[in-house]
Amino acid sequence: MEVSVDPSRVRLFIPDGLKKFKLKLFESIGLHIRNLGGDVIQGDHAAVGALPDELIPIIGCTPQFRPFVEKWRISGRQWIYWDRGYLRRVFATWLPDGHDLGVPGGYYRWHLNQFQMTKIRDVPDDRWRALKLSEWSKAPRPWLKKLPVEWRKGGKHVVVADTGHDYWDFHADRNWSRRTADALRKYTDRPIIFRNKECKIPLYDQLVDAHALVTHGSVAAVEAAVMGVPVIVHPDSAAASVGVTDISRVEDLVYPDRGPWLRSLAYGQFNERELIDGTLWRLIA
């Protein structure tokens, strides 16, 4: 078995205070890693920062790790980031979840030396087809029956999607979305809809007549692109590969072929079984 990352070198950080279902998943992955010669760090942020360079920390969206990641990116040391996935993710999604067509488990993204997928890989379409997203049997709106939806052009408004405090404390400042919404008015006369993290309006309803969705790194950008709405995002976003990264281009958007991008997304996420059966270590890149 060809392995992309040596699991004996990894150290999985498990936060304190996890909900029961999250702790069960963490413990399962941790046991798998220990069986392969790796180890677990429980709740000790400083211990992660003190790891020698030959070991690979595995972290999630924990603000205490922000200074560590900044140093790792400069020094070039290896690290792994994981979070909820892009497609068929567990909860907090406006696309189909794992129950719509009987696809097992939720998906989680795991990436080496980056927060999200930033490059399109030359991979087959088997993992994309296995997600069964091309036919959404319980789509809440008729135009969502087949995914991805064709790019839609000439929308009326721009949606700016905010995200949660933990995300901002890890990646940027909490005023990024408001500041960006204000700056957009220099480049477009279209109405701007500000979408709070806890907004109860379905995302697909706000995207029906949308010209674009703007966000920093929220997976709302991935979902918008799948639903046919162009996106403007931070370069670290997985949607940057099919969008633009400069708000001055709000009236100069792009509409690329999403096939290679969707196949790459599917190769950057894993269900719970794949996190402990060796698939993760073969495919992480």
The total domain count for the chain is 2
Mean pLDDT in residue range 102-126: 89
Residue 237 shares a structural domain with residue 278: no
Residue 104 domain-assigned? yes
Task: Indicate whether this model's pTM tops 0.85.
Answer: yes
Please tell me whether residues 170 and 91 are part of one structural domain: no
Q: Is the pLDDT of residue 1 over 50?
A: no
In tens, the pLDDT along 19-34 reads 888 899 999 999 999 9
pLDDT in tens, 209-239: 999 999 999 999 999 999 999 999 999 999 9
Q: Which residues, at least 6 apart from 125, have a Cβ–Cβ distance to it below 8 Å?
A: 259, 263, 266
**Per-residue confidence (pLDDT) for residue 22, from 0 to 100:** 84
42 & 66 share domain: yes
37 and 115 co-located in one domain: yes
Q: Is residue 226 part of a domain?
A: yes
Domain harbouring 66, CATH code: 3.40.50
Q: How far apart are CA 25 and CA 258, in angstroms?
A: 32
| pLDDT surpassing 60 at residue 100 | no
Find out whether 147 and 226 touch, Cβ atoms under 8 Å. Answer: yes
The pLDDT assigned to 3 comes to 58
Expressed as residue numbers, the domain containing 114 is 7-124+263-283
- pLDDT tens across 57-80, in order? 999 999 999 999 999 999 999 999
What is Dmax (Cα atoms) for the chain? 58
- Based on the fold, state whether residues 157 and 67 are members of the same structural domain: no
Q: Residues 115, 175: one domain?
A: no
Q: Are residues 155 and 247 in the same domain?
A: yes
Q: Are residues 199 and 267 in the same domain?
A: no
